[in-house]
Amino acid sequence: MSPANLERLTGTRMPVRAWHIGILLAATVLPGSASAGPSGRDGERIRVVYVAPKTAAYREIYDGMREHKVLERVGAIIGLVRLPNRLTYRLTECSGERNAWYAPENWSVTVCYELLDSIVQAAPRTKSPAGVTRQDAIHGPVFQILLHESSHLRSLAATDPDAQRAIDLFVYRIERELGSLVAALGGLDALIFTGGIGENDVATRAEVLRGAAWAGFELDAVANASGGPQVTRGPGPAAWVIPADEEMTIARGTCEALAQVQREPAS
């Protein structure tokens, strides 16, 4: 549907950029009608919240996401999984922080306008010689973010033994690789927790550090519960929580690769 037709149907003029953003993001998750989304039993498991942004520049993203029910479409996919609790998807402004995260305490996935805006801004305007379109450069990161944040296992552990076994194996593999690297390096000065799990999963950090007590790590439970930045104490090596900006790093790397392809002569 064109912006003009949308205006005739709704009586509201939507900025062209907002319409384009909504189409690009909606196409990321499910084809078909824009009215698709969780309903009935799925609606009981999936909740969607669009928080209106205070920053005017993000209003177009807000309008486009709501108009094309992007979060509802993701919820329709995740709703196919039998969840023990209702999952909330929330789009909100994050005081300038480009981020997305899963909060196990209230079963919610939060996505920041700042992050979506950075993806849209970083996407190339023209199709690359390799065939990568602007839509492709937006679809991939958005889809990856939403599914990644929906896939955390920690909250399932209380009700699903398989989830707990998966977490136990995950921690075991971290400890095994840590031991291998310490041996190869001849020691270590510090351990960094980063990324979605490293930054947000208090329990995993604690389990890893307790398992690595042989290397001199002493967990500071209070600091760990508050997110650090340093989550150890004592004279041994330090462990730190340092935020990562994975999506922006991926987006910049993608743009650099596309720019390189565009500079190379066609063979």
Q: How far is Cα 75 from Cα 23, in angstroms, rounded to an integer?
A: 17
Instruction: State whether 78 and 121 are in the same domain.
Output: yes
Predicted local confidence at residue 53, as pLDDT:
95
Per the domain annotation, does 41 fall within a domain?
Answer: yes
Instruction: State whether 179 and 116 are in the same domain.
Output: no
Segments forming the whole domain that contains residue 43: 3-151
- Please report where in the chains the tokens 């033994």 appear, as a residue: 161
Predicted local confidence at residue 233, as pLDDT:
92
Per the domain annotation, does 251 fall within a domain?
Answer: no
Quick: pLDDT tens for 21-80.
443 444 444 433 333 333 333 446 889 999 999 999 999 889 988 888 888 888 888 877
Predicted local confidence at residue 201, as pLDDT:
85
Per the domain annotation, does 250 fall within a domain?
Answer: no
> Can you give the C-alpha Rg of the chain in angstroms?
22
Q: How many domains does the chain have?
A: 2
Domain boundary pick from 151, 176, 209: 151
Instruction: State whether 147 and 167 are in the same domain.
Output: no
Q: Which residues of the chain have pLDDT under 70?
A: 1-44, 152-160, 264-267
Instruction: State whether 42 and 113 are in the same domain.
Output: yes
Question: Do 129 and 266 form a contact (C-beta atoms < 8 A)?
Answer: yes
Per the domain annotation, does 266 fall within a domain?
Answer: no
- Please report where in the chains the tokens 């340092």 appear, as a residue: 242
Phi and psi at 106, nearest 5°, equal -130, 15
Predicted local confidence at residue 139, as pLDDT:
73
Predicted local confidence at residue 84, as pLDDT:
72
Both tokens assigned to 210 = 């307790």
Predicted local confidence at residue 155, as pLDDT:
64
